[in-house]
């Protein structure tokens, strides 16, 4: 990509990236891009569309059993609702920078769009933003703990060499957000609820048990790496859980990241992932805010089961 940008600069004699990114307002850039895309679309011939369709991996249908997947999505949402999570129907797009502005994520891995938007690549970020908005508007006496869930088809640009993988795939996402009330009360409660919800969905919808949960210590909490040990001791009698202190570094999560492991045909698969994030802290500028997220690959599950 950098080589292409350098060639453009040499050909035009202008650092277009700096001009577009730093000297134009958001509305000016949007108007410019709309005009550019309008002209580009006007140059296309119908036959070219078919040729591009065959070459573009983002626009082709996924190789899934659609009826089965939709049924699994509905059942998943019903069970998550029974576990206390309020279902949301999110937009296919969200605000530009919704991931990159709050987490160590490159915007280059996301499909950016016009009108200040991007194609949704992680529904947990969109739910966290919705929660922050709800909290900002809350009135005295409103509850601090908010819990939402969704199933959403995500689009991500990095190619993955995994059998059955598609650039777009359906994930069940659920998020809990509350306040720090001391003694790790929110943290312990959120993990229990998410683990119970995952066990219910996997057993009732997909007829498979979670073999164990892995707690992976992460930086970012004042308790440091002792947080995972403390949570482990709180939940060890209720869930099959281990502490994985050999996990590779990951600064996406704060304090604890977890993986839910299942066994399919003798192979262990990490089918769910989540942990504590500081997104609501950043969005609301309040260090007391707490947020726990989970994602379950129901598209992938439907293919391997």
Q: How many Cα atoms occupy the beta-carbon half-sphere of 304 within 13 Å?
A: 20
Domain boundaries, the chain: 2-43, 66-304
> In terms of DSSP bridges, do strands 256-264 and 267-277 run parallel, antiparallel, or are they unpaired?
antiparallel
- With bands split at pLDDT 50, 70 and 90, how would you rate the model's confidence at 139? confident
Scanning the structure block, which residue is given the tokens 């509350």? 178
Cβ distance 256 to 218 under 8 Å?
yes
Per residue, the 3-state secondary structure of 206-228, as one string, reads CCCCCCEEEEEECCCCCCCCHHH
Residue 143 has pLDDT above 80, yes or no: no
Segment 88-114 shows an average pLDDT of 96
Per-residue pLDDT at 283 = 98
Sequence-distant (≥ 6) Cβ neighbours of residue 252 within 8 angstroms: 103, 104, 105, 275, 277
Size of the chain in residues: 305
Indicate whether 5 pLDDT > 90. Answer: no
Q: What is the mean pLDDT of the chain?
A: 93
pTM score: 0.94
Give tens-digit pLDDT for 215-271: 999 998 887 778 999 999 999 999 999 999 888 889 999 999 999 999 999 999 999
pLDDT tens column, 44-58? 999 999 999 999 999
Q: What superfamily would CATH give domain 66-304?
A: Bira Bifunctional Protein; Domain 2 (3.30.930.10)
pLDDT at position 164? 60
- What would you measure as the largest C-alpha separation in the chain, in angstroms? 67
Confidence grade of residue 6 (pLDDT, cut at 50, 70, 90): confident
pLDDT band at 162 (very low <50, low <70, confident <90, very high): low
pLDDT score, position 142: 75
Looking at the DSSP bridge assignments, the partners of residue 118 are: 94, 112
């Amino acid at each position: 990509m950098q080589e292409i940008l350098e060639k453009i600069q040499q050909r035009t004699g202008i650092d277009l990236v700096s001009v577009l990114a730093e000297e134009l307002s958001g509305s000016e850039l949007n108007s410019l891009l709309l005009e550019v895309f309008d002209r580009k679309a006007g140059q296309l011939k119908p036959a070219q569309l078919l040729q591009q369709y065959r070459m573009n991996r983002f626009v082709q249908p996924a190789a899934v059993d659609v009826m089965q997947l939709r049924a699994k999505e509905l059942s998943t949402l019903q069970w998550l609702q029974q576990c206390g999570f309020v279902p949301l129907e999110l937009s296919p797009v969200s605000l530009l920078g919704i991931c990159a502005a709050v987490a160590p994520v490159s915007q280059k891995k996301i499909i950016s769009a016009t009108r200040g938007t991007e194609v949704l690549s992680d529904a947990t970020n969109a739910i966290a933003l919705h929660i922050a908005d709800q909290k900002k508007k809350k009135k005295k006496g409103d509850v601090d703990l908010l819990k939402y869930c969704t199933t959403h088809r995500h689009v991500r640009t990095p190619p993955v060499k995994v059998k059955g993988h598609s650039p777009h795939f359906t994930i069940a996402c659920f998020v809990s957000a509350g306040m720090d009330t001391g003694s790790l009360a929110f943290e312990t409660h959120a993990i229990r609820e998410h683990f119970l919800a995952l066990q219910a969905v996997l057993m009732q919808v997909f007829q498979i048990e979670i073999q164990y949960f892995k707690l992976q210590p992460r930086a970012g909490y004042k308790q440091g790496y002792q947080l995972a040990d403390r949570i482990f001791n709180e939940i060890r009698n209720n869930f099959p859980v281990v502490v994985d202190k050999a996990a590779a570094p990951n600064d996406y999560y704060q304090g604890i990241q977890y993986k839910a492991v299942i066994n399919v045909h003798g192979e262990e698969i990490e089918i769910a992932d989540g942990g504590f994030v500081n997104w609501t802290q950043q969005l609301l500028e309040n260090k007391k805010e707490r947020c726990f997220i989970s994602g379950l690959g129901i598209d992938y599950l439907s293919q391997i089961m």
